[in-house]
Structure 1
Amino acid sequence: MASTEGLVPITRAFLSRFYDKYPFTPLSDDVTALSSQLFNLSKDLINEIPPTQDESVLAHEANCDPPHKIDENMWKNRENIEEMLFLLERSNWPRLLQQQSTPEDIEIATVLGELKIKLQATLQILESFQTKNSENVFGTVMTYMPQDFRGTLIRQQRERSERNKQAEVDALVNSGGSIRDRYALLWKQQMERRRQLAQLGSATGVYKTLVKYLVGVPQVLLDFIRQINDDHGPMEEQRERYGPSLYSLTKMALSIRLFLVLSLNRFEAKKLQKGKVDILVHALNVYTVEMERFIKFISEVFANSPFFISAKDVGAAEGSETDEFKEIIIPAGKAHEVALTVDAVNSYIAWDFSLTQGKMNMVFSSKPFAAMIHVIHF
């Protein structure tokens, strides 16, 4: 069993003391000011020309509170950035703007191209953050796993699961699914991962024994991940500390996107004035700078978080290194018998079979006494 000496329960109070070491410098006041300014400009455009159904849905979302969970806001920002990049594709511009028949149109086209480059850079940073965060979680879990074929099987299972998820996304896109549809599916898949993680902490009976004692995951970590999705669990401290800044950035992304949608959809009826273009440019510059700053900060917080504790840190590595491992080569046509002494009936043992050529026939037998294994679990 892994040593858990010195570990304490990961409660909200515990996380509060940890997060005291990582104060976030407040966002620029321009975030709130520009978000409000763009939203008011959008309302003016809607009052002048009635909105379409899609525009109404977007305006309603921009006027609502953002989601509560940190990672859901990350996905929402990523979704809004992709939606804006779609709008900034030249092929999706209004016909009049594509023609660039006036100096003003040429200037606007140049500005939109520059905004696209900035958003692409921010999107790449956000995607990288999410990928690394996911890898850190899985990598930490894997440090508790035996470093043999059992760990390999777990990795293969995860790879299959992720391939299936990607295939589901690809099928949606190929069937004509929108960016919004794709991100709804991506968030659903993310919540499935979170539920599976929480189920690990809620395991009972034999499976919990296997996780806690054979694998070596400390009970304090199992208790924490069991509550990872709870609205009032330990993670609420993180949301309370860092959520408001991220919520403001989510609101800003929606305000920028709404103004961009309305302005481009009405471009031929009402061209963008230079003053409004300047506001849009300023807002997007502030958003990308502050979003990238927040991602850099929260990356450091996550990397040092107390729930990313490797097996080595809690002494589980020592337990793994004592696993008895024996390799036996059995010639073709020969039989080999192994007698195993175990502590109790229904103890767990594991085999790793590999075959280079030919066929393999296996016959297992067990003797009816406690010193021998009665059930072989794979």
Structure 2
Amino acid sequence: MLDFFLSILKWLLIGPALFCLIGTVFSFIKNESWWVRGFDFPRIQMLVIIVFSAVLLYFFNEVVLVKYILWAALFVALCFHSWVIFPYSPLASKNVKNAENVTENTLNISVLVSNVLMHNRETQKLKSLIKRENPDIVFMVETDHWWAEQMEYLKEEYPYQLLKPIDNTYGLLFYSKKEPTKLDFNYYVQDDVPSIIATFKLDKDSKETFDFYGIHPRPPAPEEAKTSIPRDAELVMVGKEIEKKDNPTIVAGDFNDVAWSHTSRLFRRLGNLLDPRIGRGMYSTFHADYALLRWPLDHIFHSDEFQVIEIKKLEHVGSDHFPIFINLAYIPKEKHTQEEPEPEKDDEEEAKKKVKKAQLDNTTAL
């Protein structure tokens, strides 16, 4: 009887290994179903499970051939996931340089992004972070009317505001110390999911301007969207818009996607955007309450006129997301000295297909 239970236990231990192998295979499938795209997220977790499973297989002797086949498959999966997440380790080369010789005359822009969790009521924690970091721009998502009321005090230090509190978890609150020449909402895919587009002078005495995009697309999840089509379409539409304008740009928000996913990399290539986390770390912002289930969902990408003064994940504010902060120096003379993402030949066609699918989905919904 003991041997029987031990045998069952060993087979149960193989389950996580099979799960990771299936997830690895799905990484190569361009299917938008939420449960398929969900495998894009837990790369680190799958990497740990693969190593753990490979060790456990040493004690699995019932079917030796099966053991060696699994070992081989796990090794391939291990190499793949390591390759995917390696750029987000401090061992990789930095995608964005550290800004050097920064002085009080250096033009810079600092941004704080926070998904507040709509039903979270611990406002004081976020207020304290805003006061301490003193960013030029505060961008908050998942904000309802209650959150808008709680943040009214910001108008004293942040006179330029664009507020869209909504009770559907897609509300946005935007606050800026810098005066915009343009500040407006956009609805790329769905009329209940807004985004922000703004243009600012880097300094009141400067002619130099930059664009800021604040986004929070709908996630692929059973209670939100059955597929990743709405999210994917919004990302590629923003990327295409940035490409056409060719202006210094910062894009920030909760993308409901990880930086290493196919769609995020397509978005970066379309907009020629850099990722300041590459070579520095993952800065995993979600889930704030579960350290073992955490990955980077909140992002700040930018064009190559900027270099990093500081980037950091901030403390817990009662939300399921950590806020993220960045301070960027504007150094246009070093444009094109940083490694921009290389476009691929099928990018334009793929972007068109994603947008068309979203348009068809909206037409069907009507």
More helix by share: 1
Q: Which has the larger share of strand? A: 2
After TM superposition, the score normalised by the length of structure 1 is: 0.26
TM-score by length of 2: 0.27
Higher relative contact order (CA 8 A, sep 6+): 1
